[in-house]
Amino acid sequence: MTELSSTTASTPSAVPARRRRQGLVSYLARRSPLALLLVSLFLFAALFGPLLAPHSMTDTDLSQANLAPNAGYWLGTDALGRDVLSRLLGSAGVAAQAMLIVVAIGGVLGAGLGLVAGGLGGITDLVVSRVTEILQGFPTILIAIVIVALLSPSLTNAMIAVGLAAVPDFARIARSVAIQLRDREFIQAARGLGLSEIRILLTETLPNMIGPLIIIASFDGAQAIMWEAALSFLGLGVQPPAPSFGSMLRDAQNYLNINPWLAITVGVVVSAIILGLNLLGDALSDFYEMSER
């Protein structure tokens, strides 16, 4: 999974989370309008794709195969006569599901492990650190192959593998933040009031690591979309006839000479989504770094 830049690993202050959120959208609009535009278009397509699709995403019509963009099919058709625009809209929904699954698994497990390890320290920190290091040592594709072989090829099973690979990213950031906050004044004050360590972690430490976790979620979300496309391309993810970026690219490779537009369109869309999420992560990193000064 992607590494977090040095700016996102900086120590968060004890500023309440609500103050950090103030002006975030306006800052993103000034700092990186392209990121806001690309991510907004992606989420809009993911949410309303089935309603916006001008044609069926799965129905085939060989009489309309490999058409260039025209008035009836704005982005043309594939080798089975399916509308490319409609399938791209469906693929956006699949990519959003993949991103949510990965961020949910990686975020919940990783942040939980990192929070406990950094907050409690000692043998707990040692055990969690070794477990995440072992998990990080396994290639994502290997985890995916094992899980899919044990279960079955599907979006959920493939993304479980990617989500497990994302756990060390979230755990590392959560652990770092928890360690840096462990001896801060407001944490000491909470201990002085008699709060348990677990309650302190949940009510004091966790809210102050939301920013860094959101940043890593944007980067790992982009990685999740790339992995979903790669695994579906290999036949380990979304299964036909359901649309996905990976399966569309796999189908397009056999017709590059007569219909290169299909591969180009899918490649541009996937690249734009990943670019938008990475730019969003950079902008969020700058925002939270600025709010800590």
pLDDT for position 93:
96
pLDDT for position 242:
92
Task: Judge whether 76 lies within some domain.
Answer: no
pLDDT for position 208:
86
What is the span of the domain harbouring residue 152? Answer: 26-51+83-291
Task: Judge whether 283 lies within some domain.
Answer: yes
Taking each helix axis from N to C end, the angle separating 245-252 and 84-105, rounded to the nearest 10 degrees, works out to 130
117 and 171 Cβ atoms separated by less than 8 Å: yes
pLDDT for position 192:
83
C-alpha 49/C-alpha 111 separation (Å) is 32
171 and 115 Cβ atoms separated by less than 8 Å: no
114 and 178 Cβ atoms separated by less than 8 Å: yes
Assign residue 262 the CATH number of its domain.
1.10.3720.10
pLDDT for position 9:
41
Task: Judge whether 17 lies within some domain.
Answer: no
pLDDT in tens, the chain (293 residues): 544 443 344 444 444 444 445 577 788 888 889 999 999 999 999 999 999 999 999 999 999 999 989 999 999 999 999 999 999 999 999 999 999 999 999 999 999 999 999 988 889 899 999 988 888 888 888 888 888 888 888 999 999 999 999 999 999 999 999 998 888 888 888 888 888 888 888 888 888 888 899 999 999 999 999 999 999 999 999 998 999 999 999 999 988 888 888 899 999 999 999 999 999 999 998 887 776 66
C-alpha 135/C-alpha 139 separation (Å) is 9
Task: Judge whether 285 lies within some domain.
Answer: yes
Task: Judge whether 74 lies within some domain.
Answer: no
Task: Judge whether 143 lies within some domain.
Answer: yes
Task: Judge whether 94 lies within some domain.
Answer: yes
- As a residue count, the chain comes to 293
* Spacing of C-alpha 60 from chain mean position: 31
What total number of domains does the chain contain?
Answer: 1
